[in-house]
Amino acid sequence: MGRTLAEKVWDDHVVARAEGEPDLLFIDLHLVHEVTSPQAFDGLRAAGRGVRRPDLTLVTEDHNIPTIDIDRPIADPVSAEQVRVVRRNAEEFGLRIFSMGDRENGIVHVVGPQLGLTQPGMTVVCGDSHTSTHGAFGALAFGIGTSEVEHVLATQTLPLKPFKTMAINVEGALPAGVTAKDVILAIIAKIGTGGGQGYVLEYRGEAIRSLSMEGRMTICNMSIEAGARAGMIAPDETTFAYLKDRPHAPKGADWDAAVAYWRTLVTDDDATFDAEVTIDATTLTPYVTWGTNPGQGLPLSASVPSPADATDEVAKVAIERALDYMGLTPGTPLRDINVDMVFVGSCTNGRIEDLRAAADVLRGRHVADGVHMLVVPGSVKVREQAIAEGLDQVFVDAGADWRYAGCSMCLAMNPDKVPSGKRAASTSNRNFEGRQGPGSRTHLVSPQVAAATAVAGHLASPADLEG
């Protein structure tokens, strides 16, 4: 019987298999950041163990680092301590680290792909749930806990229980103005935040095939928001073209051998998925979230839902609670919701293409009075590229706040926070209560909608700004 993409990658990494025990899988790439790694290194030290494969391990600083005054000491003591510790650990265990200020520094999930380190058919792990991003290349990539970080450091393997597979077919062509972010928000709204639990998702169909690698990363990034541990997209010419000549991509004969292997990484025609979901791409429009989980999203043209629309008591209470936290009234058109802040950035939408899309909307326009727009590139390289293309000037001219790279307002571990009670349109991935700062209210949007919202002062799409 045929196998799915995920099963092929899994099978190619089995180190040991025994009845009644989880498979032991080899890990091709282990990405490490400052928040979830300290105890893992401490555990190694306590047990007298070392890092088995420093050459398959890469460390970055991203969650805590400030996006202004990056040449000064970090003010917050907890953040400063985590950064200090990760540097010491990298040095002690001989690991390559991209520290704040380094030209290669950036959000862990932006850095791996931009270096060409994330490749089809690899297993990629990181102590971070948005590791699913790397699945855009046809890699099996997922987040792990701190004790698993220690495990991978020590053994370069992980014992893993089998997963189920789910096909997400996005059929037909995407209408103009509809982005990858809209697609994934629509998928999560359809299957729910628990819909992917226990599954590895494979995104398929014409709409997915037509996306750039940046768009595919946006989709796979939010697989975790649907409850799935990983999401994947089969590699194709778009993938190969993106990887060619990147610093860590194979070269010469290795490139040819790699591409030949990568071409085998597709789900066989006679393979079966444990579940399938189909979405009609042609009906999609810009999506925004109105509530406090990523599944609470609607087309921008819709209105705030009412608890009375709920089908059961649990859903009713969930809507009530979300509306209360978000300070919204049922029936309000989503376009009438005013925002105080706009955030463009994160591992979901902080890549060069995202900045270009936001800049295209802002060019010749100005951010509305009273709105603070923050643009935070996903990595130093993205920042340099944006500057080379003159995007920084577009942002500054439009009155936006152009910053250095990092996770920033995505989770507000650094000083970039949405103040309590204030409302943000954000290109990040989580609209949980307090995610962007205590009391913050978040609407998840695409970079295009974020920029248009900044100009209009209320949730809006670029089309709303015309005429």
Partner 1 sequence: MEKFVSFTGVAAPLRRSNVDTDQIVPAEYLKRVTRTGFADGCFASWRKDPGFVLNQPAYREAQVLVAGPDFGTGSSREHAVWALQDYGFKAVISSRFADIFRGNSAKTGLVTAIVEQDGIEQLWKLIEANPGVAVTVDLEHRVVRCESVTLPFEIDDYTRWRLMEGLDDIGLSLRHADAIDAYEARRPAFKPTTLAG
Site for ligand SF4 in 7-46 (CB under 6 A): none
3 state SS of 26? strand
Contact partners, residue 106, CB within 8 Å, separation at least 6: 60, 62, 98, 114, 377, 378, 379, 380, 381, 382, 405, 406
Q: How far is the CB of 112 from partner 1 (least distance, A)?
A: 9
Q: What angle do CA 24, 96, 413 make, to 5 degrees?
A: 90
The binder of partner 1 chosen from 147, 197, 272, 338 (CB under 8 A): 147
Q: How far apart are CA 352 and CA 360, in angstroms?
A: 12
Residue 453 contact partner, candidates partner 1, ligand SF4, none, CB within 5 to 8 A by sort of partner: none
To which residue do tokens 């609407």 refer? 443
Return the number of the residue (52 or 363) whose C-beta is nearest partner 1.
Answer: 52
Per CB under 6 A, which region of 267-275, 332-340, 407-415, 436-444 contacts ligand SF4? 407-415
Other Cβ atoms less than 10 A from the Cβ of 356: the count is: 16
| CB 424 within 8 Å of CB 405 | no
The binder of partner 1 chosen from 63, 130, 134, 151 (CB under 8 A): 151
The binder of partner 1 chosen from 69, 92, 245, 254 (CB under 8 A): 254
| Closest C-alpha among 359, 355, 360, 408 to residue 385 | 355
Return the number of the residue (46 or 173) whose C-beta is nearest partner 1.
Answer: 46
The strand ranges marked E within 91-175 are 96-98, 123-126, 140-143, 157-160, 164-171
Q: What angle do CA 443, 448, 449 make, to 5 degrees?
A: 35
3 state SS of 247? coil
Per CB under 8 A, which region of 41-49, 372-380, 435-443, 445-453 contacts partner 1? 41-49
Q: Is 63 in the site for ligand SF4 (CB under 6 A)?
A: yes
Q: How far is the CB of 377 from partner 1 (least distance, A)?
A: 22
Residue 134 contact partner, candidates ligand SF4, partner 1, none, CB within 5 to 8 A by sort of partner: none
Residues making contact with partner 1 (CB under 8 A) = 15-16, 24, 26, 28-29, 38-40, 42-43, 45-47, 49, 52, 54-58, 78, 81-82, 85, 96, 116-117, 119, 122, 145-147, 150-151, 154-159, 248-250, 254-255, 257-258, 261
Residues making contact with ligand SF4 (CB under 6 A) = 62-63, 107, 109, 128, 130, 346-347, 407, 410-411, 428-429
